[in-house]
Structure 1
């Protein structure tokens, strides 16, 4: 594109600047305008990306058709599909009639999707289908609709990072990025900063009928060195502030420093939330997972304690029965022996806590040989065997009645019979 034609374009769209990166972006936009190829405009917030899609539409065969600029980040996730693709009557609460949506209304025209990186994943899938086939289905509908729309998208999101994090579809990115246009940040535009400042001061002076402000040489140097994280939008805001609030019409470096922020600014493309970023949604999921696991652990512990308590009660019942019958109690250890009774569990050393596993049948008492010095005492297993044998004899070998007499369950009695080797000797 020759210089004269480029200057006409800048005058028509009120574009100020002569840097090579800006001129290249305008040149690419004009070349691609005559086609129907998708365009993705990438640049930081506030660089003026919205000028490019308007320029493309006005210089395309579709210039007499409708043009819609849609900010994808400002539409709630729950309604964005309806806004873009339309809906059928009664498809959701409040849908009192059918709607064509932007893609239906803008047929034959151009749609500018600003902040396209903020689209939900489900909406991205719908958009990909429109780009590939020109087809879509309204929310709540079944009929396939057709549309012929030119799509120009823009984003200030680092798309490669968004794809890596699973926030944006890679196939959609390459479909949108047929023709990429990079808009330069203000800090890289050199003398354009002062040209834009002059434009904004003239606009303020004309609009509010006030004297136009100017900059001293040191103030100009400060403007050129500043990083301008808010780009053209920030420069315009600061210029308007100085035009209204400054008492002096000539701004020096000291006066300018009062309007320029001194904190650290970020000049990188914004990114979607990373896995390490603070997210209340992820925290909620983690808490749910912890509570679920804790509930399972508490349930397992309750079952184990219930089994242990029942076995302790059964052993206490056997002890009481043995005492009543004049047999040595299971809870009474022989002289010069280690405690092996149930009460020992209540005084078990903290460094030697018994291990309870949910995969085995837990025994409440420890059965082992504990002979006295003269070898005359009976071990605990023999005492328990005597108690069970006597109960079976009195009830004619009927396990159910024997268990009732002993005050224990049928299952516990069966376990005792198996332990003492009596399960094959008695009869039901």
Structure 2
């Protein structure tokens, strides 16, 4: 196969809507803009090799198509019905933790085992020891040839610093720093002071990453933390809004009942006072212990109050207000000191609308 065609495909750079067409091809008119047929990489690379870089970024639908190709060598173009066959060698690479992606449902487990025929683990640059210095020498020679400058070298202290650095960007970061020092540094022998100007000195870059214990949850990005906070706030706000609405409704109902009851009681007492005859304290027929007019009124209304509950008081008050205003609900509501809506609700509650 080494003499056949070879294609390197970055799966993370192809949009999700067109990746199936790029890999497996499409028929004419399969979608808007498909003005002609396309073989796709699997059709063009028959008998050759396809390198799928960042394979962990593939959508779930594309993973199912890829699994069929790996198992049977058959695929169908987008918008087509004809089954086609291909014989392609697949090489895949990713920096995603595949075990975690499988547990989170972002990658198919059967596709992982189908791709994982001959696994090759590439350790991070910080774990490769003296390889850091060997790669630095290689990149230094490449930059010297590229820019036609003398090759840079490292002092012993600078070499120790290179070995102690975390290298979060791995080989790409090492190559970039070597190129910067080759172009920007006036000295060809790089010491610690010069190296510090090109290597970040923040704690996150100089300390090794911590490994989480099994069962612990780790936030790999700030986006996940923000989503969790926003989700909790949304639930708290919804509960608070519901509690406030319930409390407000209870307060309104209690206020309406209190207003109706107080207005009825004061009106009843005033009307009772009007019908009580004036009693002179000089009447010789009265004993020294004759009760006053207010006490007489209280004695008269006491039996009636005992037989009335709060609902009966409200009903009688609403009936009297409607009678005094000849059935005008708006005036009756103003007289009772309540809103029109509350009066309509009380009328319906007491069954007065059926009269």
Matched, 1:207 2:152: no
The change in CA–CA distance for 1:280 and 1:86 in structure 2 (over 3 A counts) is: farther
TM-score by length of 1: 0.55
Counterparts of 1:197 and 1:276, CA distance in 2: 31
The change in CA–CA distance for 1:229 and 1:63 in structure 2 (over 3 A counts) is: same
The change in CA–CA distance for 1:226 and 1:283 in structure 2 (over 3 A counts) is: closer
Could you tell me how far 1:224 is from its partner in structure 2? Answer: 2.6
Matched, 1:173 2:112: yes
Asked whether the 8 Å contact 1:81–1:139 carries over to 2, the reply is yes
Counterparts of 1:382 and 1:201, CA distance in 2: 99
1:245-288 Cα distance to aligned partner (Å, 9 max, x none): 2212222222222222212227669xxx9598425995899499
Corresponding residue for residue 171 of structure 2:
232
Matched, 1:122 2:61: yes
Counterparts of 2:59 and 2:351, CA distance in 1: 66
Corresponding residue for residue 253 of structure 1:
192
**RCO greater where, 1 or 2, for CA within 8 Å and sep 6 or more?**
1
Corresponding residue for residue 377 of structure 1:
304
Determine which structure has more spread, i.e. the larger CA radius of gyration: 2
1:339-359 Cα distance to aligned partner (Å, 9 max, x none): xxxxxxxxxxxxxxxxxxxxx
1:190-233 Cα distance to aligned partner (Å, 9 max, x none): 33222222222222222332222222222222223323222222
The change in CA–CA distance for 1:102 and 1:411 in structure 2 (over 3 A counts) is: same
TM-score by length of 2: 0.65
Q: Which SS does the other structure have where 1:76 is aligned?
A: coil
Unpaired segments of 5 or more residues in structure 2?
211-217, 270-296, 321-325, 330-340
Moved over 4 A (4+): 266-269, 273-277, 279-294, 329-335, 371-374, 380-390, 404-415
Q: Which SS does the other structure have where 1:222 is aligned?
A: helix
Counterparts of 1:221 and 1:245, CA distance in 2: 22
Could you tell me how far 1:112 is from its partner in structure 2? Answer: 0.7
Counterparts of 1:226 and 1:98, CA distance in 2: 51
How many residues matched? 297
Asked whether the 8 Å contact 1:88–1:139 carries over to 2, the reply is yes
Q: Quick check: which one's helix share is greater? A: 2
Could you tell me how far 1:141 is from its partner in structure 2? Answer: 3.0
Counterparts of 1:69 and 1:412, CA distance in 2: 78
Asked whether the 8 Å contact 1:88–1:138 carries over to 2, the reply is yes
Asked whether the 8 Å contact 2:219–2:225 carries over to 1, the reply is no
Corresponding residue for residue 278 of structure 1:
223
